[in-house]
Amino acid sequence: MADIAQPLIIQSDMTVLLEIANPAAADARSRLAVFAELEKAPEHIHTYRITPLSLWNAAVAGHSAGEVAMGLDTFAKYPVPAGVLAEIHDQMSRYGRLRLVRDFDSGGLALVSHEVALLVEVSRDKLVATLLGERLDGNRWAVRLGDRGALKQALLHLGWPVADEAGYVEGVALPPTELTCELRGYQGDAVQAWWQEGVDAAGNGVLVLPCGAGKTVIGLAAMVAAGAQTLIIATNITAARQWISEIIAKTTLTADQIGEYSGDRKEIRPVTVATYQVLTWSPKRRADRGDGAGDGPGDGPGDGDGAARAQGADLHDLYPHLGLFDRQEWGLIIYDEVHLLPAPVFRATARIQAIRRLGLTATLVREDGKEADVFSLIGPKRFDIPWKELELNGWIAPAVCHEVRVVLSEEARMEYAMANPQDRYRLAAATSRKRSVVRRLVERHAGDRILVIGQYVEQLRSIAEDLEAPLVTGQTTQKVREVRFDDFREGRIPVLVVSKVANFSIDLPEANVAIQVSGTFGSRQEEAQRLGRIMRPKAGGGQASFYTIVTRDTVDQTFAMNRQRFLAEQGYDYQIDDPEDDAD
């Protein structure tokens, strides 16, 4: 029942306003996270939006429309609009009304529904029509095995998420394998939510947990549950080798049963760990743009994958290493940091829907807006746990977030004003005024393990020289990177300056301070990854401190507000430090 003392205002356009100062705000936020997405997070009122995709994920996770409606009603300041309740019921009821099943007569698949009119409706869509075979009877249409993923994508875009019950190939069995570590309670819950005893409707999907929560161990437990040869795709070679080390340390598999498929080696073994870079390497791309060393996990999410330039070209001709998906009878594919999945890997994944798939990530936010493709091709969100819940239970380090604001000098402000719009972020983000703040913050945290993280290499080089600290960027050789990361882990160096190579799957457990000087524009996923670098539990306990240095009254400040949105959803507040006393 509505109550003026409650924290939520639900509006007929499917937006929900949350009053942060309300005593029930934390409980309401936790309930909203199940079925809504955070859009804006200023100081006092946060804005959420209920979307079809957020409701479908809630439905797959076992939540009913009644539960969602009750959650809104419990915390509503005013009566929930009837149109909102109707939309929640309509969207959540859409999941599963279309089903993909095995057609044992033909050996292929069938799209089925109890609603014949619905089948006829979707079959009249031009794209869907090309992916359907003959009509088998009143409520079944034939589907070719290779069109399973493409059909799910097409139907999702029409607003009809399919329940995929067609099952999976088992793949070649792994040698008998066991975990040699004990799962935490929530880790076991995550694996169970994905595996569900191997039922046909499970064995696919995404598990969302913060950095430091043990996503790698969860992946290993899923591999043991599947008991089949496994392909693991990691963001870069450092992350791939960490996976290999964890497999050796925490399962009964031996080193000779684990292969590395990277730019350095091309080993295919019962468990193979590849990188996004090698899978998306293209000789045609190399000829077009050179082969420079980059910081990211490959071509990057949402990349156009050369389709316009190579219409009709076979995917494997353009990206020869994608053939790895077909080189072995895999029973499971694990996508690490699935929110970064590059477009060519999406296309390859559309063709291998008969293989079980597991996505691991700290955030399902994709800056290219392709969350729906993750849902249809990797699978729905099967498990999500609030960061604050793990923090309260001691599984990740408690964190305090600061935004430190600086101002441009008069000369720099005029240069910023006169610059082309596309150059303004670099000018604001890389201002030299941030360097003195970095020095003072490093002095304040003497004795801590400090990461200084940024986007622009020249800015980072200047800061590294100021601090007399080692620097790691995309141009740093893998051998030097590993030495510097190891020196930092062992405490031989207290400060490390890093570019976005440190965003992804880098295990630096004793880092407890991060100072962010610039980022990838307004990337929410990057903010989550960077905070995650310092949230692994510390050997002696203690708090993590995350600083973002922002240039006031510029696009740097605008982008910072967007970057902080995801963490606000997780319950983290940013303390705003005045530019005059930001590091005193």
Does the residue 567 lie in any domain?
Answer: yes
The three-class DSSP label of residue 242 is: helix
Tell me which amino acid residue 376 is: S
Judge if 343 and 443 occupy the same domain: no
pLDDT at 1: 60
Cβ–Cβ < 8 Å for 552, 434: no
The pLDDT score that the predictor gives to residue 289 is 43
The structural domain count of the chain equals 4
What gap in Å lies between CA 358 and CA 363, rounded to an integer?
Answer: 14
Asked if residue 352 belongs to a domain, the reply is yes
Domain presence at residue 320:
yes
Distance CA 487, CA 332 (A): 35
Is residue 238 within 8 A of residue 506, CB to CB? The reply is yes
d(CA 512, CA 270): 37
Which residues, 6 or more positions from 411, have their beta carbon under 8 angstroms from its beta carbon?
Answer: none
- The number of angstroms, rounded, from the C-alpha of 77 to the middle of its chain's C-alpha atoms is 33
Tokens encoding 485: 């990361």
Partners of 406 in the β-ladder: 551
Mean pLDDT, consecutive 10-residue stretches, the chain (584 aa), reads 87 95 91 85 83 93 93 95 97 95 88 95 96 91 94 95 93 95 95 88 88 91 96 91 95 97 92 93 62 42 37 69 90 91 87 94 77 90 84 85 92 94 92 95 94 94 96 91 91 93 74 91 75 77 88 90 74 71 41
Position of tokens 């169970």? 192
Last residue of a domain, one of 94, 121, 138: 94
207, 312: one domain: yes
Give the chain's radius of gyration (CA, Å): 24
pTM of the model: 0.83
Q: Which residues neighbour 374 within 8 Å (Cβ) at sequence distance 6 or greater? A: 206, 338, 339, 341, 359, 364, 366
Residue 38: closest CA among 15, 20, 7: 15
d(C-alpha 305, C-alpha 310), whole Å: 9
Evaluated on CA atoms 84, 86, 89, 95, the torsion sign reads negative
**Structural domain span for residue 12:** 8-94
**396 and 292 fall within a common domain:** no
The H-or-E segment that residue 192 falls in is helix 185-195
Structure tokens at 302: 């949402």
- The CATH number that applies at residue 418 is 3.40.50.300
- One domain, residues 421 and 539: yes
90/104 same-domain check: no
For residue 583, is it within any domain?
no
Count of CA atoms in the C-beta half-sphere (13 A) of 61: 25
Q: Which of 94, 126, 152 is the last residue of a domain?
A: 94
Backbone angles phi, psi at 384, to 5 degrees: -150, 135
Whether 53 and 191 map to the same domain: the answer is no
Residue type, 57: N
Are both 278 and 260 inside the same structural domain? yes
**Residue 130: CB atoms within 10 Å:** 11
E strand segments, 379-462: 381-384, 399-406, 450-453
Same structural domain, 405 and 279 = no
Residue 178 lies in a domain: no
Q: Has residue 180 been placed in a domain?
A: no
| Residue after which a domain boundary falls, among 364, 385, 406 | 385
Residue 419: the pLDDT is: 94
- Based on the domain organization, do 445 and 564 belong to the same domain? yes
Question: Is residue 545 in a domain?
Answer: yes
* Nearest one of 534, 211, 583 to 402, comparing CA atoms: 583
Same domain, 81 and 106: no
* One domain, residues 375 and 476: no
CB atoms within 10 A of CB 392: 12
- Tell whether 148 is covered by a domain: yes
Q: Are residues 140 and 220 located together in one domain of the fold?
A: no
